[in-house]
Structure 1
Amino acid sequence: MEQPSTTASEVCKICGAPANFTNFGAISCSSCKMFFKRNAESKQDSFQCDLNNKCDINIHSRRVCPACRLRKCFTVGMQVELIRGSRLRKNVKRQHGIESKLPNWKQKTSVSSQLPTVNLLRSDQSTLTTKQWTLLSNLLHCYDEHSGVENALQFRHEQIRFPLRLRYKLTSTTDFVTLNMARMQQMFEKNVDFRSIGCSDRSILLRNTVKHTECIGATFALYQAGLLHDPLFYQTTATIFGVDIMLKILQLIEIFDSDATFVKLILVITAFSTTKYTVYSGRACNELADSKSVLRIHDSYLEIAWKYMVYKYTYQQAVLRFCHLLRCLLRVNRTIVEVDQIREYKSIIEIVVEQSDKFSINN
C-alpha cells in the first residue's frame, strides 16, 4: 500500500473520474495517483502550460497539460511528503525480500506537453544529431505558431463573452471550423521542406492527405483549446456533423498519445505521406512528380520521431507507443470513412482544398 487509504466512493478531485480511495492526501483515481507519484518531486519546474495555466482538467483532458494537472494535484491537497513516506516503507519491505510489481508502459511514462527548450541543446544525450534537434525545434515552433490553437482560444473567449443563448451559433461555428481547417493546411505551407518541393506536388500532397491531417490536426487543436469539452460548442458541431461522429472524435482524442510533441510530429509526418489512403472520393489520386524527394523528407521526420521517443522514454516504451499509434491511425481511418458521408463535411473539405491551392500558388 502506498499509504493508509480510506474508502470514499466519490470522484477524483483532480479529473472527476470515479475514485474510491484517498491517495497522498486527496481523493484521487489511480491515474492521477500515479501521475502525482511520478512527477510531483522532479517535474514541478520543467512542466510548462501553453495556455497561461488556464487549462480545464477533467477525465478527457487530463493528459493534455501536465503542468495544470500537477498544479491541481497540489491545490486539492496532495503532498510530496506522503510519497516519500511510502517509499521508505517500500524500502523496508524490499529488505525483507518483498518485491514490488513492475508498472506497465503507460504508468511508467512521464507526460510532457512540449519538449523543454533546454533539452534541444543537449544533443549529446541522444542519437539525434544537432541538425535533427534543430529541425525538431523548428517543427514544434511551426506547429505552435500556425496550427490554429491561438485562433481557437480567441474564438472560445469571444463566445464566452456572449449570453448563453447567443454562443456558438451555427453560422459562426461553421465559419470557424472551416477557417481553422484552412489554417491547419497553411501550417504545412510554412514548412521549409514543404516549400522545397514543386508546386504541383504540394497540391497533390494537400489533396491526398487533407482528410487525415484535418482529422488529427484540427481535432487536436480544438482539444488543446478546450473547445471539444465545451457543451455548447459540442452541441453545435453535433448539429453539423452528427452526434455519432462527435462521439467518435471524443473517443479518438482519448487514445491520442499523451506526449503532445509526438502527436505534432506524427501530424507533419502524415502531411508528407505518399500512401494512397482509402478515402472515398470522386477524384483519382494524381502521381507525384518527385516522389523520392517527398519520401526523403517523410523518412527523415519519421527517424526524428523514433529517436525522440527512444530519447524521451525507453526503447521498449517507444516500440509500444508506435504500436499504439498504428491502432490510433486505424481509428482515424474509420472515423474519416464515416464523416466523409456527411455533405457539410465534404463542403468544408472542398473549401479548405481550394483555399490551400490558392495559398500555394500565391506563395
Structure 2
Amino acid sequence: MIVGQILLGLTGLSISLYAWYVKQQRQRNPKYKALCDIGPNASCSRVLTSEYGTGFGLVGSLFGQNSMMNASNVYFGMIFYILQIIFGLIATPLFTKFALVTSTISCLGSIYLAYILAFVLQDLCLVCVASYAINAGLFWSNLRTIYSIIDADLRRDINRHKFGTTELCGDNASIVNYGVLTCASCRTFFRRNGFNTKEIAVCRFDGRCEIVKTTRKYCTACRLAKCLNVGMNPDLIRKEELTKIKRKPPATNFQESTEHITTTIVLNTVPQTSALDLVTHDSLLTSTDLLTISNIVHAFDTFSPVADIRRTIDTLHSSASNSQFDSQQTIQMLSSFSNCLLLFLSSTPDFKVLTTSEQRSLLQRNMFGLLSLGGMYLMRESGIFDTPENEMIVALLYDNDTIRQARLISKRLDDPILIKLMLVALAFSSNCLTQANHRNFDRDSLLHGTFRLFGSQNVYVELLWKYLNHQHDDYQAVQRFSKLIKLFLDTFKFSCEVYETNELYKKFIDIVTEEAEKSYPNVSRTLKTTRLFERLMRVYHDCMQIQQETDIYFTKQLALFLSSS
C-alpha cells in the first residue's frame, strides 16, 4: 500500500508538471495546441487557462484576485502530490493520518472540479480526469493503510485486554480457568502444581512474597497459595489429565534415580524459576525458544552451588557453638562459583562444537566476565547479602565499603532467567579481559577468528531480547535491555576495581582462570575439592603469612621509635 501510494504520488506529480507546462505555453501563445487537445470539447489547454483553473474559481472571489492564495490549481496539485510522497516514505501513524486527511480534501476538490468540467465548461480534460482518478486512488490507499493500523491495534487490544487483568498476578487475563479469571501463565502453573502441593518447597520468606507479573516465577509456594486464595479450584482440573498421571507406567531404576536427582535440584534451588511459565498465546517466543530457555535454566540450576551454600550458612547459624565463617569456607564458595560457571558453559552446544584449544582460549578471555556477573548473582541467590552475619563469608575478599557496593549491585539482579541468558551471551563475547594479558598470547586459537563467536552470541542475544519483549511492551523492553547492559558494565567495573586494588582477590581470580583452562575438558563437579581449592588455600596462607610478617616488622619499628623517643 505504501509503495502504491508513492507510485501514485509520482504519477500525479508528473501530470501536474505537464499541466503546468501546457498552461505556460497557452498563456504565451493563445493558439498553442497541446497533445491532450483532441477536439473542440476535449481541450486540456482551454480548461487549464479558464477562470476555474486558478484558485478553483473560488479563491479570487473570497480573498481577491491578487491574493497569494489565488494560485494556479497546478501548484496546489504539486504540493499535494509531494506531501503524499513524503507521507508514504515516512510511514508513521501521524503522517498516515495527515495523508488520509489531505487525500480526502483532494477528493472533495476533484468532485467539485468534475462538476465544473461537465456542467459549466462542458469540456473533457484528459489531464484533469487522470488527476481525479489518481486522487481517488490515493484516498483508497490511505484509507486501507489507516484501516490496517486500526485493525492491528484492535486485534492487539482484544488479545491483551479481552477480559481485563487477573487478580492473581496483575497480567492481562485471557479466559476463566479453574473458576477464576487468569492469564495463560498462571493457568499452566496451577494445572502443573494443583495436585502436587506436598512437593512444593516451603517459602523462605514465611509466605510474604509479593506475586505480580514480574515476580510470579520466584516463589512457587506463595504463587500456589495465592491461586487457592483467589478461588482457583484443583477439583476443576480436567479428569483426563489426572487419569494420565495415574496411568503413568512405573519407571526403571535409572529413570527413578534421574527424576529424584532432578526433583532434588529443583526443590533445593532458591528461588525457583521455570522457563515454561513463559508460555502465552501471543508470545513472541517459539516452542524452540522456550525449549532453549528451559535447557539453559535447568543446566544452570543443575550445577548451581546455591543450595549447598545455604545449607552451610544455616548450619553455622543453628550451631550451638555459634561458629564463625573461616577462610576455608570462603575459598570453597569461590571454587564452587567457578566450577558452576565452567560446567554451565561447557554444557552448551555452541561451546561443544569448538575445538579444545578454542574452548580454552574462550575461557581465558571470558572467565573474569562470567565470574563478575555470575558470582554476584550466585552470592545474591545464596543469601549472602541478606544479613550482616551472612556477609562475613566474603569479608576475606571484600572490605565493608566493597561489600556495601556489592550489595547494591546484587539488588538489581532481580530476574533469574534474564541473568542466565545474559551469562550465556556473555560467554561468547570476543574478550572480557580486564587488561592486556600476554600469557599464552601466541597460542590463542581465537586470535584471528573471533567472528566464529558472533553467530552463537547473536542467537542468545536475540533469545534474550525475545524474552524481554515477551515480558514487557516494546518501550519497557528497550528500557530493561539498556538497564541490563548498564548493570553488567557496573558489575564489571566493580570487579575490575577490586581486581586492581585487592591483591588477594587478584591472585584468586588469576588462579581460577588458569585452572579453568587447565582443567578443561576434564572438568568435573569435584573440581572445587581438588587442585583449584588447594592452590587457593596455599595462596591465602602465603598472603596471610606475608601480612603477619609485615605487621610484626612495623610493630618492631614502632616499638624502636617509641623507645628512642
Q: Under a length normalisation based on structure 1, what TM-score does the superposition of the two structures give?
A: 0.67
Q: What is the letter of the counterpart of residue 142 of structure 1?
A: A
Partner of 1:38: 170
In the TM superposition, what is the alpha-carbon distance from 1:196 to its structure 2 partner? 1.2
Larger Rg: 2
| Number of the residue aligned with 2:201 | 52
Query: Given the alignment, which residue of 492, 517, 539 partners 1:333?
Result: 492
Q: Any conservation in 1 of the 2:202–2:221 contact (CA below 8 Å)?
A: no
Aligned to 2:222: 71
Note the alpha carbon deviations across 1:234-269, whole angstroms, 9 max, x for none.
12412422222211111111222x322111101111
Deviation at residue 362 of structure 1 after TM alignment: 2.2
Residues 113 and 259 of structure 1 are in contact (CA less than 8 Å); yes or no, is this contact kept in structure 2?
A: no
2: distance between equivalents of 1:67 and 1:287? 40
Answer yes or no: is the 8 Å Cα contact 1:41–1:80 preserved in 2: no
Q: Which amino acid aligns with 2:170?
A: R
Correspondence for 1:222:
379
Contact 1:142 1:187 in 2 (8 A): yes
Shift of 1:298: 0.6
Task: Please point out which of 316, 326, 333 is paired with 1:176.
Answer: 333
Q: Does 1:193 align with 2:350?
A: yes
Q: How does 1:1-363 map to 2 (within 5 A)?
A: 38=170, 42=182, 46=189, 52-56=201-205, 68=219, 71=222, 114-117=273-276, 119=278, 125-163=282-320, 165-256=322-413, 258-274=414-430, 276-277=431-432, 279-280=434-435, 282-283=437-438, 286=444, 288=446, 290-340=449-499, 341-362=501-522
Cα distance per residue 1:256-285 (max 9 Å; x no partner)? 2x32211110111111111x3461355466
User: What whole-Å deviation, never above 9, does each CA across 1:198-225 have from its counterpart, x for those lacking one?
Assistant: 2222112212222221121122122112
- Counterparts of 1:163 and 1:353, CA distance in 2: 38
**Helix, strand or coil for the counterpart of 1:280?**
coil
Once residues 357 and 278 of structure 1 are traced to their aligned partners in structure 2, the CA distance between those partners, rounded to angstroms, is 14
Residues 278 and 359 (structure 1 numbering): CA distance in 2 closer, same or farther, change over 3 Å? closer
Question: Residue 303 of structure 2 contacts residue 344 of structure 2 at CA under 8 Å; is this kept in 1?
Answer: yes
Distance 1:138 1:80, change over 3 A: closer
Give the counterpart letter for 1:184 in structure 2.
Answer: L
Would the alpha carbon gap of residues 213 and 164 (structure 1) be closer, same or farther in structure 2, given more than 3 Å must change? farther
Structure 1 residues 156, 41: CA separation in 2 closer, same or farther (over 3 Å shift)? Answer: farther
2:37 is matched with none
Asked if the contact 1:241/1:344 (under 8 Å) is kept, the reply is: no
Distance 2:220 2:397 in 1: 32
Cα shift at 1:150? 2.9
**2-side partners of 1:311 and 1:37: how far apart?**
16
Tell me the secondary structure at the aligned position of residue 361 of structure 1: coil
Unaligned runs of 5+ in 1: 1-34, 82-111
Amino acid at match of 2:494: T
What per-residue deviation string (whole Å, max 9, x for no partner) do you get for residues 103-147 of structure 1?
xxxxxxxxx963452645x6x743434333222221111111113
Q: 1:351: how far off?
A: 2.8
**C-alpha offsets along residues 318-353 of structure 1, whole Å, 9 cap, x if unaligned?**
111001112212211220221102122122212322
Q: Which has the higher helix share?
A: 2
How far does residue 162 in structure 1 lie from its aligned partner after superposition?
A: 2.9
Cα shift at 1:64? 7.1
Per-residue displacement from partner, 1:46-85 (whole Å, max 9, x unpaired)? 49999923334899x998776549939x89xxx979xxxx
Do the aligned residues in 2 keep the contact of 1:57 with 1:68 (CA within 8 Å)? Answer: no
Check the 8 A contact 2:498/2:505 in 1, yes or no. yes
Match of 2:170, SS?
helix
Residue 275 of structure 2 contacts residue 294 of structure 2 at CA under 8 Å; is this kept in 1?
no
How far did 1:187 drift?
Answer: 1.6
Q: Is residue 200–residue 220 contact of structure 2 (8 Å, CA) maintained in 1? A: no
Give me the whole-angstrom Cα distance separating, in 2, the residues matched to 1:281 and 1:64. 41
Give, as a single letter, the amino acid of the residue that structure 2 aligns with 1:279.
Answer: T
Q: 3-state DSSP class of the match of 1:38?
A: coil
In 2: Cα distance, 1:268 partner to 1:118 partner: 20
Match of 2:520, SS state, is helix
Shift of 1:149: 2.2
Contact 1:65 1:113 in 2 (8 A): no
Task: Give the whole-Å Cα distance in 1 for the aligned partners of 2:216 and 2:205.
Answer: 9
Report the number of matched residues: 292
- The 2-side partners of 1:245 and 1:229 are apart by 16
User: Which amino acid counterpart does residue 373 of structure 2 have in structure 1?
Assistant: I
Distance verdict in 2 for CA 1:190–1:161, change over 3 Å:
farther
| Structure 2 portions without partners, runs of 5+ | 1-166, 172-179, 232-270, 524-565
Of structures 1 and 2, the one with the larger relative CO (CA 8 A, separation 6+) is: 1
Secondary structure of the 2:389 match is helix
Say whether the 8 Å CA contact 1:186–1:359 is kept in structure 2. Answer: no
Separation in structure 2 between the aligned mates of residue 296 and residue 171 of structure 1, nearest angstrom = 41
Give the distance between the partners of 1:320 and 1:307, measured in 2 at CA. Answer: 14
* DSSP-derived class of the 1:296 partner: helix
Q: CA RMSD in A?
A: 3.9
Distance 1:164 1:299 in 2: 52
- Offset of residue 174 of structure 1: 2.3
Q: Relative to 1, partners in 2 of residues 1:214 and 1:56: Cα closer, same or farther, differing over 3 Å?
A: farther
Q: Which amino acid aligns with 1:146?
A: F
